[in-house]
Chains A and B, each alone.
Chain A
Amino acid sequence: MAKTANKQVICDVLLEAAKQDKDIVALCSDSRGSASFTSFADIYPEQFVEVGIAEQNLVSIAAGLARCGKKTYAVSPASFLSTRSYEQCKVDVAYSDTNVKLIGISGGVSYGALGMSHHSAQDIAAMASVPNMRVYLPSDQLQTRKLMQELLKDNKPAYIRVGRNAVEDIYQEGNIPFEMDKATVITEGNDVAIIACGEMVKPAIDAAAILKEKGVSTTVIDMYCIKPLDEETIIKAASNAKLIITVEEHSPFGGLGSMVSQVAGNHCPKKIITMALPDAPVISGTSKEVFDYYGLNGNGIAKKALENL
């Protein structure tokens, strides 16, 4: 199956849009290569700003540009963008309500053995708790493209996290179920509801296939929209299922699991198992090695489901 990195699609969408719209400006912090934005910098040098290794500066400059009518895309590793520039994101982007789209690349544990300084396992918690900040973790290139096309139409802040590696397609060209700020229900069942985001959607689908063989019927939800969270879909799934499992490439606190638990707890209490990275620096290894080690794969999720049903 074809594999494409979501960050590549973000650049492609912006390249297309920048052709028509001179107000689109991309900014990088010595990150254009890792962001796959070298082509943007080369083709539209007038619509590209390089700030050097200065992520706080990156976000504030993007906000200033936006206040003067530019549609800005600040593209930097998710770890630095979300924690180094956190206050700039909070004050200059969300609070001042500027049209800055924060593109966090190489998110989660994409950087593998480079360690915790380079991992972003706090970004959902950090960003989602800021008023007026939307948070999206798309799962594949097709969904990423749809999401970016929608975001181009609005002038509100948003944080988008994508991984570093090429990922398998979840959806199919010509048949991409996508509605802005509505989760995508991939399969429907009435035993378990697995709610996942980003790179964890694929393992959730794998788990559903394993569970099907054991006679367990599963709902799989791609919750790419973490904020605004699609509460309606969560409530419906929780009402129909005996067990909810959330899966995310994030700290166990303040992310998808916490947010889903909150909604379910308020509206339709059900047993919820939250699967996430540990509250510790993760073991050294590639993303796949890390996911496998912590059971964040099809088998691991299916096992949790069977243990808790």
Chain B
Amino acid sequence: MKDLAVLAYELREDVVDMIVEGGAGHIGGDMSVMEILTELYFDQMNISPQNMDDPKRDKFVMSKGHSVEAYYAVLARKGFFDIQEVIAQFSKFGSKYIGHPNNKLPGIEMNSGSLGHGLPVCVGMALAGKMDGQDYRVYTVMGDGELAEGSVWEGAMAAGHYKLDNLCAVVDRNRLQISGNTEEVMGHDDLHQRFHSFGWHVIDVEDGNDIGQLKEAFDTAKTIKEKPTVLIANTIKGKGSKVMEDKASWHHKVPKEEELEQIKKDLKEKKEALQNGKNS
């Protein structure tokens, strides 16, 4: 378990390099979602460059597409492309590594960026699995601000209706969106009951930046029958450095020199603490 927790910090370092080099990036949501993606790609899902053409492999859609930097870092580490190439080219003129997921790149299933598309698309993928009698699983990660889109709830309704137990959604519940606190912009405090009443099995992950808790929740989700499962993963936006943590202004931001120094220092310290087996 410790290894993936350390890995998540190494990937955060890649993200920071990418954003500084590219001069753009949704850094806050990258940091909050990192353990979720790490646990999914390195423990839960059977997706790799070797099996992309296998219809039986699992499927993943990055619904909160603006956190593409975190997604690139994970896919690069999985071997889909070279991280140094991503860092050098991210968001630059003529680059294929643009600011949202694009399925011209290997490993990326669907293009995203417009919020509220991932869940309904995954309903389609999960239905296809049922139609074809395949037992692959389908995963998506949404932002909490994203949940204001009506299309999310149309998808949620359909998933409950069709009892899609091969579908697992994750909400990156960092309680922030561009304009500030989600509860002030458009509240979601009854999220658990909402998904429940749409026919979902709901798991609250107390610390969504904890690999162990995420693993347990994803493992449980696999055992739930006749219902889709949603993980409400309580995360911290900007997780990893006090410069960014829980600050709405870091939704989209490129660190200035001093900030960058502090962020790098904080990430390194956290990583080393985890390597030494101490609690972060």
User: Which residue numbers of A lie inside 8 Å of B, CB to CB?
Assistant: 28-34, 50-54, 56-57, 79-80, 84, 111-118, 283-286, 289
Residues of A contacting B112 in the complex (Cβ-Cβ under 8 angstroms):
117
Known contacts being A51-B186, A53-B149, A80-B114, is A115 close to B102, with CB within 8 Å?
yes
Query: B179 to A33, Cβ gap below 8 A?
Result: yes
Residues of A contacting B113 in the complex (Cβ-Cβ under 8 angstroms):
114-118
Residues of A contacting B111 in the complex (Cβ-Cβ under 8 angstroms):
115-117
Cβ-based interface call for B175 (8 A): no
Taking A113-B22, A115-B111, A284-B94 as given, write out 18 further A-B residue pairs in contact, using a Cβ cutoff of 8 Å, ordered by the A residue number.
Answer: A28-B179, A30-B178, A30-B186, A50-B179, A51-B148, A52-B177, A53-B115, A53-B186, A54-B148, A54-B186, A57-B148, A113-B92, A113-B95, A114-B100, A117-B100, A117-B111, A118-B100, A283-B94
B75-99 vs A, CB cutoff 8 Å, 1 = contact: the mask equals 0000000000000000111111011
User: In the assembled complex, how far is the CB of residue A36 from the closest CB belonging to chain B, in whole angstroms?
Assistant: 13
Least CB separation from A289: chain B residue: B93
From B99, B148, B177, B179, contact of A114 by CB (8 A): B99
8 contacts between A and B (CB under 8 A): A30-B185, A53-B149, A53-B177, A111-B99, A113-B99, A115-B113, A117-B111, A283-B93
B24-60 vs A, CB cutoff 8 Å, 1 = contact: the mask equals 1000000000000000000000000000000000000
Count of A-B contacts with CB under 8 A?
A: 88
Residues of B contacting A29 in the complex (Cβ-Cβ under 8 angstroms):
148
Cβ-based interface call for B133 (8 A): no
Known contacts being A117-B112, A118-B113, is A284 close to B148, with CB within 8 Å?
no
Residues of A contacting B100 in the complex (Cβ-Cβ under 8 angstroms):
114-115, 117-118
Residues of B contacting A113 in the complex (Cβ-Cβ under 8 angstroms):
22, 24, 91-92, 95, 98-99
A111 to B185, CA, bound (A): 23
User: In the assembled complex, how far is the CB of residue A62 from the closest CB belonging to chain B, in whole angstroms?
Assistant: 15
Least CB separation from B66: chain A residue: A114
Residues of B contacting A84 in the complex (Cβ-Cβ under 8 angstroms):
114
Residues of A contacting B24 in the complex (Cβ-Cβ under 8 angstroms):
113
Cβ-based interface call for B118 (8 A): no
User: In the assembled complex, how far is the CB of residue B172 from the closest CB belonging to chain A, in whole angstroms?
Assistant: 14
Known contacts being A53-B177, A115-B99, is A284 close to B114, with CB within 8 Å?
no
Known contacts being A33-B178, A34-B178, A53-B148, is A115 close to B185, with CB within 8 Å?
no
Least CB separation from A79: chain B residue: B114
From A31, A33, A50, A284, contact of B91 by CB (8 A): A284
Q: Which of A30, A118, A286 has the most CB of B within 10 A?
A: A30
Residues of B contacting A286 in the complex (Cβ-Cβ under 8 angstroms):
93
Query: B98 to A115, Cβ gap below 8 A?
Result: yes
Residues of A contacting B22 in the complex (Cβ-Cβ under 8 angstroms):
113
A32 to B179, CA, bound (A): 7
A80 to B116, CA, bound (A): 11
Query: B94 to A53, Cβ gap below 8 A?
Result: no
Residues of B contacting A114 in the complex (Cβ-Cβ under 8 angstroms):
98-100, 113
Least CB separation from B102: chain A residue: A115
A32 to B98, CA, bound (A): 24
Least CB separation from A32: chain B residue: B179
Query: B179 to A284, Cβ gap below 8 A?
Result: no
Residues of B contacting A30 in the complex (Cβ-Cβ under 8 angstroms):
145, 148, 177-179, 185-186
Query: B185 to A52, Cβ gap below 8 A?
Result: yes
A51 to B65, CA, bound (A): 21
Cβ-based interface call for B146 (8 A): yes
Known contacts being A30-B178, A52-B185, is A117 close to B91, with CB within 8 Å?
no
From A31, A57, A80, A115, contact of B150 by CB (8 A): A57
